[in-house]
Chain A
Amino acid sequence: MDSVAQWQQIDHRYGSVQALQGFSLNLRPGQITALLGPNGAGKSTAIGLLLGLLRVQGGRVSLFGQPPQQRSARLRLGAMLQRTDLPDSLRVGEHLQLFARYYANPLPVDEVLALVGLQAQSQRRYSALSGGQQRRVQLALALIGRPQLLVLDEPTVGMDLDSRQAFREALRRCRQGGCAVLLATHDLPEVEGLADRIALVRHGQLVSDDTPLNIRARVALKQLRCRTQLPLERLAEWPEVAQLQDREGRMEIYSREPEALLRRLLAADPTLSELEVRGADLEQALAVIEPAATAQAA
């Protein structure tokens, strides 16, 4: 079996709010999967279910082929949760030694500290660390048991640039070691160049699950910018326009058929100026997969 973790047809509600609907996903070893979506899309719910913090309402969740609450499954898991604070009065080294006890064959504390770049902070109290360093301690706790699955919920929130670099480096090493990584974030640049796979969640549903390369290719979009007198409402009705936005008087249009669009644009507006055409990046490609969530920014 090649699956490390699996969600099958998950439905989950909080009262009247449908947090997940028919959500299915499969995590494989040696792969960094980004669980990407805006805040409130259901990422944390999916993670809570996988980690056994939430009770499954509909569907099935398995962790190494077992129910998530099993201790034997959790022995192979490392996790970094959203908004966690560790007890202030323990030293960094003490926190790590304590967690190391939970596993039969943990990484040496010094090695983990080096991995997250905190060798110099081992003797410092948790409360004396910067926010980014505290997050790195939490990453170290997730890594110390030599996990086969690493689950990270918004891990870089509160991280400075140094911490982010240490973080990316640590994740790449984990992947090399065959570890499966799930990285939940609302921030695409964080996973660009790092994730092998992007699972896009919107409104509790999995909208897309593909490699970054495929996503970009699949949505072969071009970006067109120009100054035009044509009103936005009219442009929005054209079939050649996939998406558009008014950026302070300059129109930003995404299209799958840029040549046809250009011909029509030039014919309709002889005053058109400042024209620019280029390929769309990953963020724009993702945005058109499900246009409902990309409300026009003012």
Chain B
Amino acid sequence: MSNATVITAPSLWPIYWAEFVAELKKTFRQPGFVIPSLCFPLGFYALFGLLMPHRGSFDGTTWFFATYGTFGVIGPALFGFGAALASEREAGWLDLKRVSPLPTGALLLARIGMSLVFAVIIFLLLSTLAFVAGGVRLPPSAWMLLGLVLVLGTLPFCALGLLIGSLARARSAAGWVNLIYLPMGALSGLWFPLFLMPTVLQKLAYALPAYHLGQLSLAASGQIEVVVWRHVAMLLLFTLVFASLAARALQRSVK
């Protein structure tokens, strides 16, 4: 072209940041997402961890703090990626983003960031409840370690949510997420301790990612002792498998 103008690309960080902020705004304006995400872990913890008497010889208030914390951070990751992604994919919104000069990965990072923010909020709220109402006292290093485990532990579930979101139809995605989220939580020992369940189910738990994150949370809060690397390795493996399956599913949508 004679009047060719040099098109410069804008710097990337402001784009990543703006995308993240937009994701937060979008999500926090949906009470249907925020309220259940925050209320379920808090309510379950209050009910099973604080109000119900505990059978067996374990410190229920701390134990359930760790396991419902785990249960709590998994939810927004699964729903934010699974259900929301499916509906935005079907609405053509993802296509419009792909056509725009938005750098690849920005959308993904924004959404992961959103899940991490939710994990932090859930951890802080649960911590307050556990400290004030449950009288839970952990060394500061244990609080911080548990927080770190829970926040980073959302990543495999972001990947699982991504997989659901790239396969499911918008209308049924939330149903699929619930179908995976709730039984997985129960079978991973997040609702009540695994040692109270039949041996078969205890064995089955090993195949569930939520079990491994639950074990790490319990270990971080000093409730059990585990071989840390084994659970970390399993979670990394799950992340890798889910993410690559999701990548393949999204690729296939490009005909």
Q: Which residues of chain A have a CB within 8 Å of any CB of chain B?
A: 1-2, 14, 29, 51-55, 71-72, 74-77, 79, 81-87, 89-90, 94, 97-99, 101-105, 138, 141, 145, 178
| Residue B182 CB within 8 A of the other chain | no
Kindly list the 4 A-B residue pairs having the minimum CB-CB distance in the complex, ordered from nearest: A85-B91, A84-B92, A89-B29, A104-B10
Which residues of B have CB within 8 Å of A98?
18-19, 22
Q: Do A74 and B18 contact each other (CB < 8 Å), given the known contacts A84-B93, A103-B10? A: no
Cα A102 to Cα B101 with chains together (Å): 6
Q: How far is the CA of A257 from the CA of B98 in the complex (A)?
A: 52
Chain B interface residue count: which class?
20 to 34
Q: Is the CB of A102 within 8 A of B95?
A: no
Q: Do A89 and B26 have beta carbons less than 8 Å apart?
A: yes
Contact B92 A141 (CB under 8 A): no
Question: Whole-angstrom distance from the CB of A215 to the nearest CB of chain B?
Answer: 28
**What B residues does A54 contact at CB under 8 A?**
254-255
Contact A90 to B22, CB < 8 A, known contacts A82-B92, A101-B15 = yes
- Closest A residue, CB atoms, query B106: A102
* Residues B91 and A101 in contact, CB atoms below 8 Å apart: no
Q: Once bound together, how far apart are the Cα atoms of A145 and B103, in whole Å?
A: 15
CA separation between A77 and B98, bound complex, in Å? Answer: 12
B254 and A81 form a contact (CB under 8 A):
no
Q: Could you show 27 A-B contacts with beta carbons less than 8 Å apart?
A: A2-B1, A51-B99, A53-B99, A54-B254, A54-B255, A55-B255, A72-B9, A75-B7, A75-B9, A77-B99, A77-B101, A81-B99, A82-B92, A86-B93, A87-B88, A87-B93, A97-B18, A98-B19, A98-B22, A101-B14, A101-B15, A101-B19, A102-B15, A103-B10, A104-B8, A141-B100, A178-B3
Contacting residues, chain B, for A53 (C-beta < 8 A)? 95, 98-99, 254
Scoring A75, A82, A101, A103 by chain B CB atoms within 10 A of each residue's CB, the highest score goes to: A101
Other than the given A101-B10, A101-B14, A104-B8, 20 more pairs (CB < 8 A) read A1-B1, A52-B99, A53-B98, A54-B255, A75-B9, A75-B101, A79-B96, A84-B91, A84-B93, A85-B93, A87-B88, A89-B25, A90-B22, A97-B18, A98-B18, A99-B100, A138-B96, A141-B100, A145-B100, A178-B3
Main secondary structure of the interface of A (DSSP, over half): loop
- Alpha-carbon distance A54/B252, docked complex (angstroms): 10
B29 / chain A contacts, CB cutoff of 8 Å: 89-90
Query: Given that A75-B7, A81-B92, A89-B26 are known contacts, is A103 also in contact with B254, CB under 8 Å in the complex?
Result: no
Instruction: Tell which of A1, A14, A103, A141 touches B101, judged by Cβ atoms closer than 8 Å.
Output: A103
Query: Pick the contact of A71 from B14, B95, B101 — CB < 8 Å?
Result: B101
Instruction: Give min CB distance, A17 to chain B, whole Å.
Output: 11
A18 to chain B, nearest CB (A): 14
Decide if B102 is an interface residue (CB 8 Å cutoff). Answer: yes
Q: A132 CB to closest chain B CB, in angstroms?
A: 17
Q: Which of B7, B8, B92 contacts A83 (CB 8 A)?
A: B92
Residues in A with CB closer than 8 Å to B199 are none
Q: Whole-angstrom distance from the CB of B146 to the nearest CB of chain A?
A: 32
Per-residue interface assignment for chain B, residues 9 to 24, with 1 indicating a CB less than 8 Å from any chain A CB and 0 otherwise: 1100011001100100
B10, closest chain A residue (CB) = A104
Question: How close is A123's CB to chain B, nearest CB, in angstroms?
Answer: 14
Task: Choose among B14, B88, B95 the residue that contacts A81 (Cβ–Cβ < 8 A).
Answer: B95
For B9, list chain A residues within 8 Å (CB): 71-72, 75, 104
Residue of A nearest to B84 (CB): A87
Complex Cα distance, B87 from A85, in Å, reads: 10
Is the CB of B30 closer than 8 A to any CB of chain A? yes
Question: What separation, in Å, do the CA atoms of A103 and B95 have in the docked complex?
Answer: 18
* Chain A residues, CB < 8 A from B95: 53, 81, 84
